[in-house]
Amino acid sequence: LKIFLADNAGFCFGVKQAMNKALSAITEKENENIFTYGPLIHNRQVIQKLEQKGLRAIENLEDAAGNTVIVRSHGVPLEFYEDAKRLNISVVDATCPFVRKVQNIARTYHDKGYCIVIVGNPDHPEVIGINGWCNNEAYIVQTESDIDKIDGCEKVCAVAQTTITLDLWDKIIKQLRQRTKILKEFNTICTATSERQISCAEIAKRVDAMIVIGGYHSSNTQKLVQISQKYCKNTYHIESVDELPIECIRDLSKIGVTAGASTPDWIIKEVIHKMSNLEQQKNENEMMDMMEEIENSFKVPRKGDVLKGKVIQVTDNEIMVNLGYKSDGIIPKEEISSDPSTNPRDIVQEGDEIEVYVLKTDDGEGNILLSKKKIDREKDWDLLERIFKSSEQKSVTVKVTEAVKGGVTAMFNEIKGFIPASQLSDSYVENLGKFVGQFLEVKVIDFNQAKRRVVFSRRAVLEEEKEKKKQLLWESMEKGKVFDGEVKRITDFGAFVDIGGVDGLIHISDLSWGKIKHPTEVVQVGDKVQTVVLDFDKERNRISLGLKQTMPEPWETVEEKYHVGEIREGKVVNLVDFGAFVELEPGIDGLVHISQIAHRHIAKASEVLSIGQTVKVKILDVDKEARRISLSIKEALEEPNAETEKDLKEFHEDEPITIGDILHSKKE
């Protein structure tokens, strides 16, 4: 890295003088208040140092009444001195002699009746000061268009703000010459400024980057930045060494440095020093890298080393790795993965960085024999241990590889684990072999890296899923909700149905609209049924379900289905003193009055009927409101003849006779 420092960079003569005067005043008037009228120079770091020495800037002269005020190098309007006198202020005048010269020209020619034109920035304190030496009547021209403001002036005296560019001065003077009869031109541009600008441009043309040091509010520094940018796109404006753009310039070979008129030498030195160190550091780093490379090329890795390398070739059978040693490394297919179906090309690409384990320093052909799966295995052990120890144990995916005694073996990447038969499912597993080849979600339930033992459980995952399902089911539970379920267990009082992780009970009375003696008359274990929630108690984990409620209530449609005079078949379900009840369908029982059972007189229904017997009945009456149907067996029968009556009687004496038997015998 070469550093080029521009000529005339930093403090100009005027600024140096102002600084010296200020420091002398501070020393001489140790116990007095000393102020500057506006900041002494446009440099934050310098101002901070002066403030630490007790020098403060004021904007209003009244604030310094009775004390000492330093006039900075920009100068001040003439009336300042009268005001200072009135306020009993002791003035230390540090106006730059070049500025004072401009002020004097302005006053002299103003007194001679000339219109004064100041080419410069109307807001700059130097221009405001000069204007104050010609009764504040000067025309201030910053651009060519400002010239139009000059009106009725036969005699013009033009002066320049000391820091403007020569280019601007020439343009304005050219115009003034054309428009003015008598023109007195005083090019008062300070040579320090123009020389600094010229040397800045020259250096900017031949470097990779320019560093311009100076206050962000310093107008002469800003102009240096503009000039530099014209010739060098990598121009950086900084105020102090801390802002040096290290990353942008680190790898460049030529850097130029210049600084504004308010930049002290010590800041310039700091910047150059830091860049020189950078160069030294860069050289040292390069040297170190080179040395390491040379050293590595002579070194041979040791068996068991874990190294990083770059993949230089991948085939179907191996991966070749550059480890930075004189020999390259080879990972054969069997050391890439335990899964023989793995293709090396699916694992890495050329150019990838890879971590490897050294198995042998020479595989017989001069190459270093490496293993990837050994590294992966260690990583997998670490991962499993983290999972096993974490409070929210995550599940992992394993591939079942073999059925063995008491369970199956399963691979988690490169690690072989065991799943006991009891942990393969949440129910009994008879055929372990059916799991071989399957990918299963499992939890780690036992882990011992030292003994290389890991036990997985699929059952834990299934139970967790079940629990989640159960939670969701309970959250959505409401009376009247219909669930599909499966009959799991049957007792005398009802059937237990799994409706998705939770069992509910269908009481025997809610299984059917008809009368049943046992739930098995309606459902069997394993039946898929649709049920409705009748009631539930989350605290006690109880759900009452209804099966019959999912079907229409039979009495609702009784009038449409059963008409008076029709002959139907039914089943005797109860015998009472006054007759028999016959079930036409579950939930619809009709009464056959004893007088309607047979054509002959019987004292009890049981004389001719028995429970469970199927009979033909005639519908005599249907009363939906009263939920009553009157039936007649005898009217469903033909009028018996005397012989039949006799046969019936005899037959009945031997064994209980049924209407079915009667009908059967009649047919025969």
Note whether 259 binds ligand SF4 by CB under 6 A.
Answer: no
Note whether 169 binds ligand SF4 by CB under 6 A.
Answer: no
Note whether 13 binds ligand SF4 by CB under 6 A.
Answer: yes
Residue 172: both structure tokens together = 């304005």
Note whether 381 binds ligand SF4 by CB under 6 A.
Answer: no
Number of residues that bind ligand SF4 (CB under 6 A): 14
Query: In the complex with ligand SF4, which residue's Cβ is closer, 20 or 283?
Result: 20
Q: How many CA atoms lie within 13 A of 530 on its CB side?
A: 6
Residue at shortest CB range from ligand SF4: 14
User: Distance (Å, rounded) from C-alpha 318 to C-alpha 555?
Assistant: 81
Q: How far is the CB of 262 from ligand SF4 (least distance, A)?
A: 9
Q: Where do the H-state alpha helices sit in 232-389?
A: 246-249, 265-298, 344-347, 373-389
Give the per-residue contact string, 68-97, with ligand SF4 (x = CB under 6 A; - = no): -----x----------------------x-
Query: In the complex with ligand SF4, which residue's Cβ is closer, 195 or 498?
Result: 195
Q: How far is the CB of 192 from ligand SF4 (least distance, A)?
A: 4
User: Distance (Å, rounded) from C-alpha 353 to C-alpha 397?
Assistant: 26
Note whether 207 binds ligand SF4 by CB under 6 A.
Answer: no
Is 650 a known active-site residue? no
Q: How far is the CB of 10 from ligand SF4 (least distance, A)?
A: 11
Residues in the chain: 668
Cβ atoms 590, 624 nearer than 8 A? no
Query: In the complex with ligand SF4, which residue's Cβ is closer, 193 or 630?
Result: 193
Antiparallel, parallel or unpaired: β 579-585 and 567-576? antiparallel
**How many whole angstroms from its chain centre is CA 121?**
52
Query: In the complex with ligand SF4, which residue's Cβ is closer, 10 or 587?
Result: 10
Residue with tokens 């428009």: 179
Give the per-residue contact string, 260-279, with ligand SF4 (x = CB under 6 A; - = no): -x------------------
Query: In the complex with ligand SF4, which residue's Cβ is closer, 5 or 261?
Result: 261
Give the per-residue contact string, 478-517, with ligand SF4 (x = CB under 6 A; - = no): ----------------------------------------
Cβ atoms 523, 547 nearer than 8 A? yes
According to CB under 6 A, which one of 5, 6, 9, 12 is a site residue for ligand SF4? 12
Cβ atoms 81, 91 nearer than 8 A? yes
Cβ atoms 245, 239 nearer than 8 A? no
According to CB under 6 A, which one of 14, 301, 417, 519 is a site residue for ligand SF4? 14
Q: Which stretch binds ligand SF4 (CB under 6 A): 8-16, 205-213, 268-276, 638-646?
A: 8-16
Q: How far is the CB of 148 from ligand SF4 (least distance, A)?
A: 29
Note whether 241 binds ligand SF4 by CB under 6 A.
Answer: no
Note whether 388 binds ligand SF4 by CB under 6 A.
Answer: no
Q: In what order do the strands lie in the sheet with 90-93?
A: 55-58, 34-37, 68-71, 90-93
State the catalytic residue, choosing from 62, 82, 126, 569. Answer: 126
According to CB under 6 A, which one of 84, 99, 117, 119 is a site residue for ligand SF4? 99
Name the amino acid, one letter, at 455.
V
494: alpha, beta or left? (left if phi > 0; alpha if psi -120 to 50): left
Query: In the complex with ligand SF4, which residue's Cβ is closer, 220 or 371?
Result: 220
Q: How far is the CB of 113 from ligand SF4 (least distance, A)?
A: 27
Cβ atoms 71, 94 nearer than 8 A? yes
User: Distance (Å, rounded) from C-alpha 72 to C-alpha 664?
Assistant: 139
Residue 316's SS3 state is coil
Name the amino acid, one letter, at 602.
I
Task: Give 624's contacts (C-beta < 8 A, 6+ positions apart).
Answer: 555, 558, 559
Residue 59's SS3 state is coil
User: Distance (Å, rounded) from C-alpha 481 to C-alpha 581?
Assistant: 35
Q: How far is the CB of 271 from ligand SF4 (least distance, A)?
A: 21
Q: How far is the CB of 150 from ligand SF4 (least distance, A)?
A: 25
User: Distance (Å, rounded) from C-alpha 559 to C-alpha 622?
Assistant: 7
User: Distance (Å, rounded) from C-alpha 546 to C-alpha 525?
Assistant: 16
Instruction: Provide Rg for the chain, Cα atoms.
Output: 55
Task: Give 362's contacts (C-beta < 8 A, 6+ positions apart).
Answer: 327, 368, 369
Residue with tokens 């293993």: 371
Give residues 138-167 in contact with ligand SF4 (rule: CB under 6 A).
162-163
Q: Which stretch binds ligand SF4 (CB under 6 A): 13-21, 175-183, 310-318, 349-357?
A: 13-21
Give residues 182-201 in contact with ligand SF4 (rule: CB under 6 A).
190, 192-193
User: Distance (Å, rounded) from C-alpha 280 to C-alpha 496?
Assistant: 85
126: enclosing H helix or E strand: helix 125-131
Note whether 98 binds ligand SF4 by CB under 6 A.
Answer: yes
Note whether 106 binds ligand SF4 by CB under 6 A.
Answer: no
Note whether 118 binds ligand SF4 by CB under 6 A.
Answer: no
Q: Which stretch binds ligand SF4 (CB under 6 A): 12-20, 227-235, 321-329, 591-599?
A: 12-20
Taking Cα atoms as reference points, which of 106, 32, 43 lies closest to residue 75?
Answer: 106
Q: How far is the CB of 58 from ligand SF4 (least distance, A)?
A: 21
Query: In the complex with ligand SF4, which residue's Cβ is closer, 142 or 161?
Result: 161
Query: In the complex with ligand SF4, which residue's Cβ is closer, 95 or 544?
Result: 95
Query: In the complex with ligand SF4, which residue's Cβ is closer, 15 or 633?
Result: 15
Residues annotated as catalytic are 126
Residues that bind ligand SF4 (CB under 6 A): 12-15, 73, 96, 98-99, 162-163, 190, 192-193, 261
